[in-house]
A and B are shown apart, each in its own frame.
Chain A
């Protein structure tokens, strides 16, 4: 059988880094092929070459045995390649139908297109109303827009970049049923994900990239997730461990906290109650946009709360701002690394000063002690293995994973009594994620209380003692993570938002 797409010796170099080095792989019609690798392994560059966004320096691509060199995405779409992007390439202010029309060659009139959208969404069990404004849709619905946009072109190869990172377990099930149906109809799928269990259940074959090179291939069903992870990072991974847990007295108490969201598209908090004990790690799950940012802001002090609703060691702290809360030991690390947790164009020393001034005694009478701040930054870099030439470098110059290690390390090293983190390992590769989780476990082991807000359920199951889900701004009753099943978690997260499992 001629492969649908074959890549031979593809090489792409950027100044200072070889993103892809002699990469070869083959995909057959109907095959679900996975591309695995850590951040910076060159997965994105590879699919961008297939989709015509980047031109390879060397090497050749063949589609059905014929030379294939798309000069732009339009040409790639014309040859039957569709792509669903990791960061959705959607236009919030436009309707579903307009968004889809933008991704099509020779789009029909909007009324005819709406009809086609309804038809395809029925066939593949992806309910979607064509005239809705995309800005109002949930993450799962937005992804459906992208998928339907691709399906309308009747692609022979569908590229999916991290498609499940924002979906509930039920939504993932529906997506997988759609993908299996497509694959049965002969559409090949190139699937990029960090979630190894998903790859094991979905994919027929896998190619593993490390530092731009192919380091191996495997059949995911016959390989354990651990083996795949070790091929990706090229070393044996340690599993986060923690000593036996004994929970102490209550340090942080939130009672029936309701707060409006500061942003127009945000989610207000509704009657959120938390009791956090010393040494406890509380995992907060839920689909993005259900109040995670607001919860973090309320706890960190960016949003002030009514009297009596947040107490630390039985003292009301609702009226205290972030610095006052830091001073009494309540620290936070928000999700957005650049711009929220760190100032992008300031050096690591300056960023260390920004949150560390109070607890690390970096400031006296309004004057800043820069040598001490530099020392603190160096301590973070060393303790958390942050890869950077030195503390004088701008935060922006660090890769996502390294900056995340710095941001988490900065808070952990300030010996917090309560630490609140949002998405601590988002977009971070496996070994860095393991290091960050271990540091949170160690912190709890020393008696601090930790709240981890995350969308990675595996992560929450791995490190937290109790799990609660945020849904529409409400926090469910926390329950012990021992013996909690994925179905139960899915129900706590509100199930699949407004949709039934497709009957296809």
Chain B
């Protein structure tokens, strides 16, 4: 075993990249849940985003257009969920699970012609001399634009929820939909928009896997990241910065255990592979001990009675 092969700088740089798919999906789901909707279809929207982004990037040659298509694909799939839960008042848990299964199947169908192809690469942003700074340069200033977009998105979601009227109305709808309705807010419309936002974010998260993390398409390649994102939202007590922390923790331990495997540590690989899930959950459980309550109307069906 030789731990010296692990380069902490590369580890940190890779951690940010590994965390981005979860971060994007979890931030989107956070907004959905703050609006009082529990969408368990994150995995399905991610995998659909992964294939939409991959296919469009290959066809157009532009990864950025690919990401836009991924967001659109995720949002369109989430509209199906919005229709089921907000219009036909179907059960949110069952609809979300169905959405995941549907997304996995649909993406496999769409992706049949794309196995084994290499997508166009999204270049890293050139920060010029900033990237030359020792340690900070390679860790902070050597990434693709989507990664920075993810961090910016967390900040934007946080500020919107905390400081703007739109954010206040969204929280109000999630907290008590009957009261929000009585005050004249359009519960169904607000929730539908939140669900679409969540779908778009999940789609982009999926495309980040297929275009940047593992630049290729394989069936079911999101491999449960959507479920981790869902758990992250709960353990982060529905707070955006904690989602960032949780995503980086998870991404960091994932990278670390890969490096440890590479270094030949004498622990069975299965234990190492389990560790990111266990440690992330333990840390976030400790963090969520302050009992920040879930949005009051989370997962409850809203029916405007007169």
Contacts and interface: CB of A to CB of B under 8 A. Distances in A.
A68 interface: no
A428 B172 CA distance: 31
A469 B291 CA distance: 32
Contacts of A73: 182-184
Chain A CB within 10 A, most for which of B171, B178, B295, B306: B306
Contact of B165 (A77, A92, A101): A101
Nearest to B169: A102
6 contacts: A52-B184, A53-B182, A54-B306, A92-B176, A101-B165, A102-B180
A90 interface: yes
A60 B169 CA distance: 32
Interface string A66-104: 000000111001000000010011111110001001110
Interface string B277-306: 000000000000001010110000000001
Interface in A33-78: 45, 48, 52-54, 72-74, 77
The 8 closest A-B pairs by CB, nearest first: A73-B184, A89-B179, A91-B175, A89-B182, A74-B184, A72-B184, A91-B176, A93-B175
A107 B169 CA distance: 12
Given A48-B306, A89-B183, A93-B293, A98 B178 contact: no
A43 to B, nearest CB: 14
Interface string B164-198: 01001101100110111011110000000000000
Interface residues of A, number: 24
A451 B172 CA distance: 39
A92 B295 CA distance: 10
Nearest to A106: B165
Given A54-B306, A101-B168, A102-B172, A93 B179 contact: no
Contacts of A88: 179
Contacts of B185: 102
Interface of B: 165, 168-169, 171-172, 175-176, 178-180, 182-185, 291, 293, 295-296, 306
Given A53-B182, A89-B182, 18 more contacts: A48-B306, A53-B184, A54-B306, A89-B176, A89-B179, A89-B183, A91-B175, A91-B176, A91-B296, A92-B175, A92-B176, A93-B171, A93-B295, A94-B171, A94-B172, A94-B175, A102-B180, A107-B165
A367 interface: no
Nearest to B294: A93
A92 B171 CA distance: 11
A88 B168 CA distance: 18
Given A48-B306, A73-B183, A102 B178 contact: no
A56 to B, nearest CB: 12
A230 B184 CA distance: 36
B12 to A, nearest CB: 36
Contacts of A91: 171-172, 175-176, 179-180, 296
Contact of A102 (B183, B293, B306): B183
A14 B306 contact: yes
A53 B176 contact: no
B185 to A, nearest CB: 8
Contacts of B169: 102
Contacts of A74: 184
Contact of B178 (A52, A89, A93, A101): A89
A101 B184 CA distance: 13
Nearest to A14: B306
A83 to B, nearest CB: 8
B296 A93 contact: yes
Chain B CB within 10 A, most for which of A48, A53, A93, A264: A93
Given A73-B184, A89-B183, A93-B175, A53 B306 contact: yes
Chain A CB within 10 A, most for which of B169, B176, B182, B295: B182
B168 A98 contact: yes
Contacts of B306: 14, 45, 48, 53-54
A84 B234 CA distance: 34
A103 B185 CA distance: 10
Contacts of A52: 184
A107 B172 CA distance: 15
Interface string A134-151: 000000000000000000
A54 B182 CA distance: 11
Nearest to A89: B179
A502 B291 CA distance: 37
B304 to A, nearest CB: 9
Contacts of A101: 165, 168
